[in-house]
A and B are shown apart, each in its own frame.
Chain A
Amino acid sequence: MIEKAKILDQAALNRALMRIAHEILERNKGTGDLCLVGIRTRGAYLARRLGDCIRRIENEDVPVGALDITLYRDDLTLIASQPLVHKTEINFDINDKNLVLVDDVLYTGRTVRAALDALIDFGRPKSIQLAVLIDRGHRELPLRADYAGKNIPTADTETVEVKLVECDGKDEVIIAAKDTN
């Protein structure tokens, strides 16, 4: 991978999350019936951070869960290497909640499709909204984000790498070119 550009540094990433938190609260008129579910791995960390932002704004806790979508992927039979199955932890009732699904990058939309299938097995939320840190385009399914930290036009030959302190040791988002050698 060859790094082409840094899209967000730590401060910009935090500002984006804080703005998304404000937008979520504005649209849902506060924290009542609100819950956050992040898609593992990085979406789950981002959901927790959004929960922290919401607490700072409203002084209220919202339930935060983590979803592993490995078993719902539509490309399980195609991918060469076997994905590890991680734990899904949604320790609250999602029925009649306004659920905000959180992921790091919105690209083809297939991950979100899998996550929606998984969520429906947990109950029937009043609404499901989608929050992503980066929307990079190239959708293959009719899906859109309700909240986006940043819209970045990308080429298919590029990748967007989101790095978070929790798993990568630092906060940043970069665009890289796929190494063709």
Chain B
Amino acid sequence: MEWTRKHLLGLEELDRQEVELILATADSFKEVSTRAIKKVPALRGQTVVNLFYEPSTRTRVSFEVAAKRLSADVINIAVETSSVKKGESLIDTGRNIQALRADIIVLRHGCSGAARLLSRHLDISVVNAGDGWHEHPTQALLDIFTIKEKLGRIEGVGVAIVGDIAHSRVARSNIWGLSKLGAKVTVCAPKMLIPAAIEELGVRVTHDIDDALKGADAVNVLRMQFERDENRAFPSQLEYFKKYGITQERLEGLKNNFLVMHPGPLNRGIEISSEVADGANSVILEQVTNGIAVRMAVLFLVSRAKEKDETTH
């Protein structure tokens, strides 16, 4: 199996072997972060630009750490301090970054499809770090990597995704990735937070949290974004916690090695209780550690694919 994609735009377009190759490569990269000198020279002399149109600390930092552990040079562009404020378009910004002879753009953007649009206009690699409600492939890959690491497999594993499914790119990428590898996915949320026709992606839908958790091996708890909830999809944070919050009581009777995951940042007492977030079933911080290895694997694979493209043309 050989990686041929210059860009990573989403998990929907990948086939099972490609997802498995990223996971296997990430598994090899995990060891690098345990060394006395946490660095390998694989991307020496290459420049990675983190272009972030939305606020993000953990994804941006994770990509930055991953690129640095591969010995790449990293430039961070946050839109608040860039010419985008002066009206420059995404494509113009991308072309300027390419003209600086950068090699990879890691893009976070509020519009679905932004990464694909940029990739069509540039010769350098584009890695999607979250586009609108569409996809957040590296987050899903690190979630899947963590499940595989903890449970030893993905095939047949039951995963519940709880929270604002309608507006969640993390949910969408997880559904694509997990389904390709044979996991059984259940999504759980109040009716107005479940998008229409989600069943067509092969997931089970429920509005009852206990029903979602029953028989599952892992739960991925999405962050409730009340700060973005203009339509008031749910009356109050307390109400949400009562009906959908993951508490220790709700975990009782589930499998011993049941995994609680969360992409962060946590809203303690809204979608998850502190007791669970810090408890024995929580693998939330391990997700952060695994995120480095997954992003190292993605940056390495797309950078190599590009070399290949150039030599075959």
Contact = CB atoms under 8 A, between A and B. Distances in A.
Is chain B found bound to chain A in the same assembly?
A: yes
Question: Do most interface residues of chain B lie in helix, strand or loop, or is the interface mixed?
Answer: helix
A68 B31 CA distance: 11
B42 interface: yes
Interface size class of A (residues with CB under 8 A): 20 to 34
Interface in A98-129: 117-118, 121-123
A85 B30 CA distance: 11
Nearest to B71: A71
B41 A82 contact: no
A82 to B, nearest CB: 5
B3 interface: yes
Contacts of B24: 84
Contacts of A121: 35-37, 39-40
Nearest to A95: B36
A72 B71 CA distance: 11
B116 interface: no
Nearest to B45: A77
Interface size class of B (residues with CB under 8 A): 20 to 34
Interface stretch (A44-52, A86-94, A135-143, A157-165): A86-94
A89 B304 contact: no
B148 interface: no
Q: Report, nearest first, the 10 A-B pairs whose CB atoms are least far apart.
A: A71-B42, A71-B40, A121-B37, A85-B28, A87-B28, A82-B304, A85-B25, A88-B31, A82-B2, A77-B307
A122 B35 CA distance: 6
A81 interface: yes
A11 interface: no
Contact of A117 (B28, B36, B41, B70): B41
A80 interface: yes
Contacts of A68: 28
Given A68-B28, A71-B40, A80-B311, 19 more contacts: A71-B32, A71-B41, A71-B70, A72-B40, A72-B41, A72-B42, A76-B42, A76-B307, A80-B312, A81-B2, A81-B308, A82-B3, A85-B29, A87-B28, A88-B32, A118-B40, A121-B35, A122-B35, A122-B36
B19 interface: no
Given A80-B311, A122-B36, A86 B28 contact: yes
